[in-house]
């Protein structure tokens, strides 16, 4: 399942709902919660920061390996090159006032998903997240 949204300005909710409505998505609520949180963070980052004024495209898709039951969620955009995984994880032992701003969302994605990979290829940012599911 794959779809390109263009432009993406003010379409975060629509993009998230598209991904969450995929037939590849599991039915169990704890896994859906983890997937939704990770998808929301990743989509919001692209919509807010990839393009000046949100004028650009975002291609999203899901696939399910039916043998291993690994769900893959992929986001691809042609915005400013940015690897969210290059950032150090926030020090969650510090209070909110002591921590640097930013990075908590990607940190949560890393905790919720099994793998998160980034690559820049042919002028595109490609973020791939995987999660083992129970169907």
Strand order from edge to edge, sheet including 58-65: 2-5, 58-65, 70-77, 124-132, 115-121
Contact 82, 96 (CB under 8 A): no
Q: Rounded distance, CA 113 to CA 9, Å?
A: 26
pLDDT for res 1: 84
Q: Give this prediction's pTM.
A: 0.87
What pLDDT, on a 0 to 100 scale, did the predictor assign at position 20?
98
Domains of the chain plus CATH, in order, are 2-132 (3.30.565.10)
pLDDT in tens, 64-79: 999 999 999 999 999 9
Average pLDDT, the chain: 89
pLDDT in tens, 82-103: 998 886 655 555 455 554 555 5
Separation of alpha carbons 67 and 70, rounded Å: 8
Q: What per-residue confidence (pLDDT) applies to 78? A: 97
């Amino acid at each position: 399942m794959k779809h390109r949204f263009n432009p993406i300005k003010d379409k975060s909710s629509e993009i998230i709902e598209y991904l969450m409505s995929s037939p590849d998505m599991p039915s169990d609520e704890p896994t859906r919660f983890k997937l939704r949180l990770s998808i929301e963070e990743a989509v919001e980052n692209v919509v807010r920061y990839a393009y000046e004024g949100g004028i650009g495209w975002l291609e999203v898709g899901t696939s399910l390996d039916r043998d291993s039951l690994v769900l893959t969620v992929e986001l691809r955009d042609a915005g400013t090159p940015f690897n969210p995984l290059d950032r150090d994880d926030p020090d969650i032992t510090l209070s909110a006032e002591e921590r640097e701003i930013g990075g908590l969302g990607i940190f949560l994605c890393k905790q919720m998903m099994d793998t998160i990979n980034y690559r820049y290829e042919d002028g595109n940012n490609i973020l791939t997240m995987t999660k083992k599911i129970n169907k």
